[in-house]
Amino acid sequence: MSYTKKLHNNIFNNYIFIFLSNLNLTHGLWMIYLATKGMSLVQLGLLEGIFHITSFLMEVPTGLVADIYGRKTSRIIGRIFALLSIFLLLTADSFIFFTISFIFIALSYNLESGAGEALIYDSLKELKLENKYMKICGKQEIAVQVGQVIAFIIGGYLATIDYKYVFYLTMIFIVITIIQSFIFQEPNIDKEETKNNKLSKILKNQINQSINIIKDNRKIGFFIIFTQIILAFGTSLFYYLQNFLIADGHTEFFIGVIFSISAIFDAIAGSLTFRLEKIIKEKGILMIMPFLSVICIWFIALSKYSYIFYIIMCAIEGFIFVAMSDYINRLIPSKNRATILSLASMVFSFFMIFIFPLIGKIGDLYSLKTAFLVLAIIATIFAIGNFILLLNINKKKDLPKT
């Protein structure tokens, strides 16, 4: 099979990989599961905080692994860490071992986050099809959400029988993705030669180059911060909503159905992004979408039908994620792509280190409803600040057009 054909196959194979990777039946249940193991909201917040501290510290090193040794290698190692994490989460009974499990899953997330995106964008770049990325990214979002729909429903059902079945089936899917990871073709991009250079020098050069790229184009940095703050709000709600709905008298299966519906809306929004973006343009995404997301957070906190507004918020975030991913990748050179995308994930972890434990602490002291109200206030301040900043930027024309 020719090199070009293998690069084309990367696109379809990645849809399958993403689908299988998102058959993580524990994703919508781990907070409920750990609560049954005796973990308080504060401890749950600390575990997620540990995840993001690990992610924050390791994002750039793992991004360098992808840029220097290859995106495929990074993915394979990441999947192995995912398997170890799920196994440990199932067998552990103490906070210490749960902590180790969360460190492993953070490393898995780090190794896969920028690598997968860089693998596909660089495959398209080699094929001179990078203008198709937003459309392909939308299809990838469908694969993500279809996988999550199935995982939420099956996971929710199995959890009502026995949580161990949730973990067993998840581990089987992870093993399949490890095997599938070997079939990807690594794109031929400019990489630092490791034979004649010290690793420390290579790492330093790669980091310095990536930081200078962001400094030279402030739009990259703005897009990264904008996207990761919104994702941090949504991720926090996703996890704490599990316990919120359980306390409200709903079953794991009901929660699985709600998360499945939200995933479907997310997938639809993601697949339509390239059409909608032509209508509202970049300015509409940056200035309007945050306010729509904030309105949803307020209704999640105040309405008895919180799950309906969560579903709507997921659709909004799906649209934002696909559009911003395309905007950012257009501005990044291939040889620095995984490192810069890892820097973006590092920003996400930075926000989550503070937001997630804060919600858990407020939830323990008062209630999760109060915690959601605090989150809504923080999100409102961000949306207003973002709007004012963009108005000033547009006047000064500090941000060049994409």
Query: Does residue 201 lie within any of the structural domains?
Result: no
Q: Domain limits at 315?
A: 9-181+209-396
Within 8 A by CB and 6+ apart from 113, the residues are 59, 341, 342, 345
Instruction: Judge whether 226 lies within some domain.
Output: yes
Query: Does 195 map to a domain?
Result: no
- The string of pLDDT tens digits covering residues 282-333 is 888 888 899 999 999 999 999 989 999 999 999 999 888 888 888 888 888 8
Residue located via tokens 């040794």: 69
Is 158 a residue whose pLDDT tops 90? yes
Question: Higher model confidence: residue 267 or residue 342?
Answer: 267
Q: Is residue 191 part of a domain?
A: no
CA dist., res. 30 & res. 36, Å (int): 10
* Chain segment 261-274, per-residue pLDDT in tens: 998 998 888 888 87
Domain assignment present for residue 13? The answer is yes
What's the whole-number mean pLDDT along residues 56-62? Answer: 80
Burial class (CB in 10 A: 0-12, 13-18, 19+), 15: middle
Number of domains in the chain: 1
pLDDT at 339 over 80: no
Q: Give the integer Cα–Cα distance in Å for 63 and 269.
A: 28
pLDDT for 366: 93
**Would you say residue 394 has pLDDT above 70?**
no
- Residue 180: the pLDDT is 95
Q: Is residue 80 part of a domain?
A: yes
pLDDT in tens, 30-47: 989 999 999 998 899 899
CATH number of the domain where residue 361 is located = 1.20.1250.20
Which single residue is written with the structure tokens 């575990």? Answer: 47
Question: Does residue 366 sit within a domain?
Answer: yes
Task: Decide: 329 and 206 in contact? Cβ < 8 Å.
Answer: no
pTM listed for this prediction = 0.75
pLDDT at 380 over 80: yes
pLDDT at 200 over 90: no
- pLDDT at residue number 194: 45
| Token output for 157 | 């059902």
Q: Is the dihedral of CA 110, 114, 115, 120 positive or negative?
A: positive
Whether 39 is covered by a domain: the verdict is: yes
pLDDT the model gives residue 202: 65
> pLDDT exceeding 90 applies to what percent of the chain?
48
Query: Under a CB-based contact definition with an 8 Å cutoff, are residues 344 and 293 in contact?
Result: no
**pLDDT tens-digit map of 126-153:** 898 888 887 888 888 889 889 999 999 9
- The average confidence (pLDDT) of the chain is 87
